[in-house]
C-alpha cells in the first residue's frame, strides 16, 4: 500500500471507528461486534505505525492512552466555572421561582438536569477537534487533563458537522458508572490497596492519574450539561443541549424543559423514584432558566448565578441492628472487619453487611453488640455505618473489639507500625491467603488463565490438588474431570453448582499451557508481591531484565528504579528472603514461564544525560522509528509528552513535522532540535 492509499484508508477507518464508538458508548446501540471493532482498530494501529506522520492527534488509537503526565498544567478558564446555590426543600424552590418572576416579569421556561456526582470539566473544541480539557479547579482556573480526557470514549475527539462554531466549550461531568466502580474496587481489594469510598472519588482520582493508559482502563463516562462560546446555534440552553447531542455528545435522557415550577416539582419527584435504579450516581436536580437573554437579565450574586439552583436529594439511610462483626482475610493476609446486620432496605436494595474498614474505624464508632445503627450506601454503592444511636444501647451490651487471632487459621495477628490494617502472618498455610494468591495469579491482568474463576480454585484447594500457584502446572486431565461442588453466596443465600466437565477441563489446561507465553512484567506482577502493582512490575522488569537480578538486588538498587519507593523496595526484599517464595519461583521457572525480558534499560543511575528533560517527538526520522526514539529518551532519563506546553524542554523534529507544532513551539520559545542534535545530546 502506497502513501496515498494509506492516507485514504486511515481516514476511512478513523471515521468508521468514531461512528461505531459513538453508537456503542453514547447511543448504547452497537452496530458491530467487539471483535469486529478490535480488528478495525488493529488495522488502523498497523497503518499508523507504518506511516507515523499520517497519525493525527484525534485518531481513535489515542483512546488507549499511553501519555505520561508528571505535573498537570494550570489553565485559566475562558468562562469561569461557577458553583450553584443548593437547597434541600421544595419551599426554597418556590422562593427561587418567585424571585425570578419578580425580576424579569415575563414568561420563561426552566430546564431540569440531573446533578451528576462527578467531576466538572471544560472541553474546548476548535474547528471540530478537541484541543483542551480542563478540570473545574477553583472555578477560575483548573488542571489541564487533555491526554486523560481523550481516553474517555463518550468524549468526541473529532466532530463532523456543518453547523459547528469555529470554537466552543462543552461543560460536562466526568463520572464513573456503578459497574466500573465495583470492578475497580474489586481489583483494589485483590491487590490489598485502599478502596475508593464512592464513584465520585474514584472518578476524580482516575482523571488525575499520571499514566493515561491507566485512565483508559477505568471506563469513565462523560455527560454534557452546557455549551459556552460565541456564535452558538441557539440562544437558549435546552436547544443547544439538543444540538450537542446531534453532534455526538452524550446528554442525559432525563433532561426536561418545564413550563413552570409545578412541572419542575413533578420532574424532581419522578427522578427520585428512579434514582436507586440509575447506573450512575446523582445527588440532585439542577434547575436553570432556559433563555440566555433572561439569564443575563437575572445576573449573578457574588458566588452564584441567580438563574440556576441545585435541588439536592437527602442521602437514603436505613436503621437496623448490629448483630456481629465478621472478619475477611485477603491474599496478603490483611484482615478486614465486616458488620453483620439485620436485613434493611436502603436505596432499593437489601443490606445485610457493611464494611467497617479497620480497627481504628471500629474504635471510632464505639460499636457494641445489638447496637441500633444508621446505614447508608457510600456513593450509593458500598453500605457503611454512619451513626450509632447510643441512646438505644442496652445496658449490659458488650463492646466489640477487633479480633486478636486470624479467624481462618487462629494465628496471632500483627499490625505494622504506621499502618491501620492488621495482618495474619501465616502466609504459607492460611486458606484464604492461599486461595487469594492463586486467584490473583490467574487473573486477567496477571497470567490470564481463563476457566478457573467462579469458585473453581476453591474446589481444587479443597480436593488437595493445589497448595500454591506452581501446582497449577502439574494438574492433569484425569484429576480435574468430574470434580464438582455446590457453593452458597454468603450474602444472597443463592446456591450454584460448579462442575468440571470435559470441555471445561480442556479449556483450563489449554489456558494454563498458554500462560507460559505471558511476558515477564506480568509474571512478576502475578507473583503477588505486596504493594507491587502493574506499573511497578513493568518498571522493575525493564530495569533489571530478569528475576535473578531482582531477587539479588540491594535495597538501594531497587530504590533507584523510578516509582519504586521504600515500602515497595522493602516488600520485594522481604519476599525473596522467604525460602518458600523462592521455591515457588524456581518451580515456576522450571515449568517454562518467562522470567526475563528483552527490553532492558542499560543505563546506570548516574548515566542519564536526558534526566529531567521532557520531549515532544514529531515527524519521521532517518535512524529510528518513532517508538525507538521514544524508548531511547526514556532509557536516557528523559520523558515523552504528547503535546507542547510552557513546561516542554525540547521539540524533537523529524521530516514532515506538522507546521502547527513548529509554530506553537516558536510561540512558547521551546527549542526545536534535529535528530543530529539529539544524537549529540545522548552521546
Q: Which residues are catalytic?
A: 115
Tell which residue, 56, 96, 455, 492, has the closest CA to residue 289: 96
C-alpha cell at 438: 492463586
Gap between the Cα atoms of 660 and 56, Å rounded = 12
Gap between the Cα atoms of 470 and 408, Å rounded = 23
Strands across the sheet containing 129-135? 129-135, 119-126, 167-175, 221-228
SS3 35: helix
Gap between the Cα atoms of 119 and 134, Å rounded = 11
Residue 65 half-sphere exposure, CB side, CA atoms within 13 Å?
Answer: 23
C-alpha cell at 509: 489446561
Determine the longest span between alpha carbons in the chain, in angstroms: 86
Which DSSP state fits 470?
A: G
**Cβ of 672: how many Cβ atoms within 10 Å?**
16
- Report whether 156 contacts 218 (CB < 8 A): no
How far from 584 is each of 311, 313, 428, 472, 589, CA to CA, in Å?
58, 54, 11, 11, 9
Give CB contacts under 8 A, 24+ apart, made by 89-98: 90/265, 90/268, 90/311, 93/261, 93/264, 93/265, 93/287, 93/309, 93/311, 94/261, 96/287, 96/309, 97/260, 97/261, 97/264
Amino acid at each position: 500500500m502506497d502513501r496515498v492509499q494509506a492516507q485514504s484508508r486511515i481516514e476511512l477507518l478513523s471515521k468508521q471507528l468514531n461512528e461505531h464508538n459513538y453508537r456503542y458508548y453514547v447511543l448504547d446501540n452497537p452496530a458491530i461486534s467487539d471483535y469486529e471493532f478490535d480488528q478495525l482498530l488493529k488495522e488502523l494501529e498497523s497503518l499508523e505505525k507504518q506511516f507515523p506522520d499520517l497519525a493525527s492527534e484525534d485518531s481513535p488509537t489515542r483512546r488507549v492512552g499511553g501519555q505520561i503526565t508528571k505535573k498537570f498544567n494550570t489553565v485559566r478558564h475562558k468562562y469561569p466555572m461557577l458553583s450553584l446555590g443548593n437547597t434541600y426543600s421544595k419551599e426554597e424552590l418556590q422562593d427561587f421561582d418567585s424571585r425570578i418572576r419578580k425580576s424579569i416579569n415575563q414568561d420563561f421556561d426552566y430546564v431540569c438536569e440531573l446533578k451528576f456526582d462527578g467531576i466538572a470539566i471544560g472541553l474546548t473544541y476548535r474547528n471540530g477537534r478537541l484541543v483542551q480539557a480542563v478540570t473545574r479547579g477553583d472555578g477560575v482556573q483548573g488542571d489541564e487533563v487533555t491526554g486523560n480526557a481523550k481516553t474517555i470514549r463518550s468524549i468526541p475527539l473529532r466532530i463532523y458537522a456543518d453547523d459547528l462554531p469555529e470554537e466552543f466549550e462543552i461543560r460536562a461531568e466526568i463520572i464513573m458508572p456503578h459497574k466500573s466502580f465495583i470492578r475497580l474496587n474489586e481489583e483494589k481489594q485483590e491487590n490489598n490497596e485502599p478502596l475508593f469510598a464512592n464513584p465520585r472519588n474514584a472518578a476524580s482520582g482516575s482523571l488525575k492519574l499520571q499514566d493515561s493508559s491507566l485512565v483508559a482502563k477505568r471506563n469513565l463516562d462523560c455527560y454534557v450539561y452546557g455549551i459556552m462560546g460565541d456564535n452558538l446555534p441557539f440562544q437558549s440552553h435546552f436547544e443547544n443541549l439538543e444540538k450537542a447531542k446531534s453532534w455526538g455528545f452524550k446528554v442525559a435522557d432525563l433532561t426536561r424543559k418545564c413550563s413552570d415550577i409545578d412541572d419542575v416539582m413533578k420532574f424532581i419527584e419522578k427522578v427520585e423514584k428512579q434514582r436507586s435504579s440509575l447506573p450512575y450516581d446523582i445527588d440532585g436536580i439542577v434547575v436553570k432558566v432556559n433563555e440566555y437573554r433572561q439569564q443575563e437579565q437575572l445576573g449573578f450574586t457574588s458566588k452564584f448565578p441567580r438563574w440556576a439552583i441545585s435541588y439536592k436529594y437527602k442521602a437514603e439511610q436505613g436503621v437496623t441492628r448490629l448483630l456481629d462483626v465478621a472478619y475477611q482475610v485477603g491474599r496478603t493476609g490483611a484482615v478486614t472487619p465486616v458488620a453483620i446486620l439485620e436485613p434493611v432496605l436502603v436505596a432499593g436494595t437489601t443490606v445485610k453487611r457493611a464494611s467497617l474498614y479497620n480497627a481504628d474505624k471500629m474504635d471510632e464508632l464505639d460499636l457494641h453488640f445489638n447496637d441500633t445503627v444508621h446505614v447508608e450506601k457510600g456513593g450509593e454503592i458500598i453500605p457503611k455505618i454512619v451513626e450509632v444511636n447510643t441512646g438505644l444501647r442496652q445496658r449490659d451490651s458488650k463492646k466489640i473489639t477487633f479480633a486478636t487471632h486470624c479467624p481462618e487459621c487462629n494465628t496471632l495477628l500483627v499490625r505494622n507500625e504506621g499502618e491501620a490494617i492488621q495482618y495474619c502472618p501465616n502466609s504459607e498455610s492460611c486458606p484464604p491467603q492461599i486461595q487469594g494468591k492463586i486467584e490473583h495469579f490467574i487473573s486477567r491482568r496477571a497470567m490470564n488463565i481463563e476457566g478457573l474463576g467462579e469458585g473453581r480454585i476453591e474446589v481444587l484447594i479443597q480436593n488437595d490438588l493445589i497448595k500454591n500457584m506452581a501446582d497449577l502446572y502439574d494438574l492433569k486431565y484425569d484429576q480435574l474431570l468430574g470434580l464438582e461442588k455446590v457453593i452458597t453466596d454468603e450474602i444472597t443465600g443463592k446456591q450454584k453448582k460448579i462442575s468440571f466437565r470435559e470441555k471445561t477441563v480442556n479449556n483450563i489446561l489449554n489456558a494454563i499451557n498458554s500462560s507460559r507465553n505471558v511476558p515477564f512484567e506480568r509474571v512478576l506482577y502475578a507473583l503477588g508481591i505486596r504493594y507491587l502493582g502493574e506499573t511497578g512490575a513493568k518498571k522493575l522488569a525493564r530495569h533489571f531484565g530478569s528475576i535473578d537480578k531482582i531477587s539479588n538486588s540491594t535495597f538501594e538498587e531497587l530504590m533507584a528504579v523510578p516509582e519504586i519507593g521504600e515500602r515497595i523496595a522493602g516488600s520485594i526484599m522481604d519476599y525473596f528472603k522467604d525460602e518458600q517464595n523462592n521455591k515457588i519461583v524456581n518451580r515456576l521457572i522450571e515449568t517454562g514461564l518467562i522470567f526475563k525480558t528483552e527490553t532492558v534499560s542499560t543505563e546506570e543511575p548516574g548515566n542519564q544525560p536526558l534526566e529531567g528533560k521532557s520531549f515532544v517527538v514529531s515527524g519521521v526520522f532517518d535512524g529510528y522509528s518513532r517508538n525507538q526514539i521514544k524508548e531511547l529518551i526514556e532509557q536516557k532519563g528523559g520523558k515523552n509528552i504528547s503535546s507542547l506546553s510552557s513546561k516542554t524542554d525540547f521539540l524533537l523534529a523529524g521530516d514532515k513535522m506538522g507546521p502547527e507544532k513548529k509554530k506553537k513551539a516558536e510561540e512558547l520559545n521551546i527549542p526545536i532540535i534535529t535528530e543530529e542534535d539529539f544524537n549529540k545530546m545522548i552521546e
